Structure 1
Amino acid sequence: MDPMLINPLPLNASNDTGSCPIEPQHVSINILLCLVFFLGFLLNSFSLWIFYCRTPSWHSGTTLQFHLALSDAIVTPVTPMMAVYFAMGSDWRFGRVLCQLKIALLSSHFYGSTIFLTLISIHRFIVVVHFNKSSCIKQKDFVRKLCTGVWIVLLVQAVIYAFILPPSKEGRNNQCLSIHQKDLKEVYFIINFILFIFGFVLPFTVSAVCYGQLASMLTSRLNISTAKGLKVKMKSQRMIGVCLMIFGLCFLPLNLLRTVGVTITKYYPQKCQLLLQVETAYYASWILAGVNSCLDPLLYCFGSGNFKVAFQSLRICQKERQNRNDSETSMNQ
C-alpha cells in the first residue's frame, strides 16, 4: 500500500473514539477490481448468449452451467458503486437502499457461485461414475426445479443480510458492509461463521469428495484405450482442475481473511495497524474472488459439448464472413 495513504500507527493505537481510523485503500485495488469484474461480465454475458441463443438442446448439466453464469453476471451493477466507494476514501455516498442492493447482489453472487459449482461437481460425479444408473440430477426437469429452489434460498438470505446489515455513520465516513461498523461487530462475527461453514467449507468438501471419487474412478476403472474413454478422462480431469482452482484461488482467501478480520475486530479492537493490513488484504481478495467469474467459462467449455459446438460454429461463421469480405474486397480492386 502507498505509504502516502496511511498514517502509521503503533500496533495498539486507536483514535479518540476507541476504534481504529478508517484509511483509504490503494487505487490499484480499485482499478483491478473494476477490470476483473468487467472482464467477468463480458465473458459471462457471452456465455449466457451462447446458452440462450446458440444451444438448441439443453440437458441437466447445461441448465446448471447457465445458472452459474447468471450468478456470476449479477454482480456487475455493484462494481461501479464499489469503485466509487474506494475512490472516495471508503465513504458510501449512495444511501441505504443501494447499500442493501450491494449486499444482496454480492451475497447472491459469491454463494450462488459456490452452490452451483457444487451442484456441477455432484452432477459430473453421477454422470461419469454412475453413468449406467438413473438419478434425478440427470433429469432436466428436476434440475430446473432445483435451480429455482437455489435462487429462492439466495433471495431469502440476500434480503435477510441486506436488512440486518444497514449502512451506518462511523466518524466522518458512511460505511456499508464494513468491519468498521462498531454496532454490527457481533452480527458480522456470527454471520461470517455461518457463511464460512455453509457457504465455503461444506460446498468445498462436497466438491472435493466428488472429484476425489471421480479421479479415483478415472485411474482405476475407466477404459482409456478407446477414443470415448480418453475424451471423458480428459474432460473430467480439466473440470476437476478448474473447479478446485476456483475454490482454492478465488474463495479460500476471501473467507479466511474475512474470518481473521472479524476476529480481530471482536477480540483485538485496539490493534489498528494489524486490522488495516488484514482489511487491505481482504479487499485484495475480492479481486481474486472476481477471477472466479473469468474462470467459470472454462467449465462450460470442458463440461458442455453443446457449448463447445456452439462456440466453434460461431468461430466458423466469423471466419467465413471474414473470407467473404476479403473476396469482395479483392474483386472490387
Structure 2
Amino acid sequence: MDHLNSSLLFPSPLPVPSNQSDFSSVFTQQVLPPLYLLLGVVGMALNTTAATIFFRVPSDSGLVVYLKNMLLADILMLCTFPLRAAAEAGLGGWRLRVAVCRYSAPLFYSSMYVGIVFMGLISLERYVKIVRRPSCSAPAGGSCPSLLSQGVAPARVLALLTWSLLLLSVLPNALLTSRPADASSHRCMQLKTSLGVQWHRVSTLSSVALFWATLLVLVSCYASIARTVLRAQRRLRHHGGHVCRRSSRSIASLLAVFLTCFVPYHALRVPYTLSQGPGSRFSPGTRRLLFHLKEATLLLAALNVCLDPVMYCLMCRSFREALLRRLAPGGRR
C-alpha cells in the first residue's frame, strides 16, 4: 500500500524563499518529531493497557476478534513512530532515512490501512447484528444474534485475509526500494527501482480506493442502523430499543474517529500525489505547501492509535467489564 507517499523525509532542495524554507525546517524537524514521540508514548501506554485487558477477554464473537486485530495493527504502527521522529529530526544520518523508507514507512502505512479495514468489518458486524435481525428490538438485556457476531471462525478467516494484504503490501515495497543510497538520497522514490515505482503507483491507488470504499460502508451501515433505532423507538416507547441505541452510539463513535483522523489526509492525497509526479505543473511553493499539509494530516491520522482504546470501551461490553474490574480496589490480580 502507501509508502511514504513519494514524500520527502527532509525538505527537498527546491528553490523556495528563505522564509518558507525556515518554516519547513521548523515544522518538519522541530514540530513533528516531538508530536510523534508524544503520540507514541501516550498511544503505547493506552494500547498496552488495552492489550493486557483483551488478553483476559475470550474471543467469543466476531466483534472481539476484529477489535483484537485492530489493537495489534495499532501497536505495529506505534512501533514505527520513534524511527519516523528520529529521521524527521535529522538523527541517525542518511542511513536511518533509508531504513525508514525501506522498512518502517511501509509498516506504518500498511498497519494504518489494516486498521481501516477492521473498522469497516466492525461496522458490517454491527449492521448485521442490528439491521438484519428482527430480534434487535428485543427487551433490554436481550441479544441480537447474527452470523457475524457469533461466527468466530469466519471472523478469523477475514482477519487472516486482511493481514495477508498487509504482507502483500509491505514485502514488495521493502524489496523494490533497493537502489543504492547515499547522503544525497532525500526522497524515498529515489531508492525505488523502475518496478518499485510502478508498484508504488498501483498500491497508492489501491489504498486510496480501499479507504473511500470503507468510508462508504461505514456511512451506509450507520445510516441503516440509525433508521432501525428510530423505528424501534417508535414501536417500543420504554426500554425496548436499549440494545440498539447502545450499538448505534458505538458505531457513531467509530464513524466519528474515522472521519476525524482519516478523511483530511485522504482528501489531500490526490492533489499531493499529482504534485509529486514527474512533469508536475505545480509550482515549487505549491508542492511544498501540499507536502506540509500532507504531513500535518498524516499526524492527525496517527492520532487514531490513541483514540481506538476509547472505542474498545464503547463497543465491547466484555472489555468494559474487564477494565472496570481492573480499576476496582484489589482488581490487579
Deviation at 1:31, TM superposition (A): 1.2
RMSD: 3.5
Provide the rounded CA distance (Å) in 2 between the counterparts of 1:272 and 1:182: 25
Aligned length: 306
CA change 1:137–1:230 in 2 (3 A) is closer
Where in structure 2 are the equivalents of 1:97-246 lying within 5 Å?
Answer: 99-131=101-133, 132=135, 134-136=146-148, 138-166=150-178, 169=181, 172-175=183-186, 177=188, 188-198=200-210, 200-222=211-233, 225-227=237-239, 229-233=241-245, 235-246=246-257
Aligned partner of 1:14 in structure 2 is none
Q: Structure 2: where are the runs of 5+ without partners?
A: 1-10, 136-144
Provide the rounded CA distance (Å) in 1 between the counterparts of 2:302 and 2:98: 24
Per-residue deviation, residues 160-192 of structure 1 (Å, max 9, x unmatched): 22233447658x543464699897766544432
Candidates 39, 63, 66, aligned match of 1:64:
66
Contact 2:65 2:156 in 1 (8 A): yes
Candidates 296, 300, 313, aligned match of 2:308:
296
Provide the rounded CA distance (Å) in 1 between the counterparts of 2:328 and 2:106: 40
Provide the rounded CA distance (Å) in 2 between the counterparts of 1:134 and 1:270: 51
Provide the rounded CA distance (Å) in 2 between the counterparts of 1:37 and 1:219: 40
Is the aligned partner of 1:286 residue 2:288? Answer: no
Percent identity at matched positions? 20
Contact 1:92 1:174 in 2 (8 A): yes
Contact 1:114 1:203 in 2 (8 A): yes
So what's the TM-score if we normalise by structure 2?
Answer: 0.79
Deviation at 1:77, TM superposition (A): 2.2
Candidates 87, 90, 103, aligned match of 2:89:
87
Contact 2:53 2:319 in 1 (8 A): yes
Deviation at 1:232, TM superposition (A): 3.1
Aligned partner of 1:46 in structure 2 is 49
Q: Secondary structure at the match of 1:75?
A: helix
Q: Secondary structure at the match of 2:185?
A: strand
Opposite residue 157 of structure 1, the aligned amino acid is: S
So what's the TM-score if we normalise by structure 1?
Answer: 0.79
Provide the rounded CA distance (Å) in 2 between the counterparts of 1:262 and 1:78: 23
Contact 1:211 1:240 in 2 (8 A): yes
Provide the rounded CA distance (Å) in 2 between the counterparts of 1:8 and 1:135: 55
Per-residue deviation, residues 277-299 of structure 1 (Å, max 9, x unmatched): 11111111121111111111222
Rg (Cα) greater in structure: 1
Is the aligned partner of 1:77 residue 2:103? Answer: no
Deviation at 1:117, TM superposition (A): 0.2
Provide the rounded CA distance (Å) in 2 between the counterparts of 1:283 and 1:90: 21
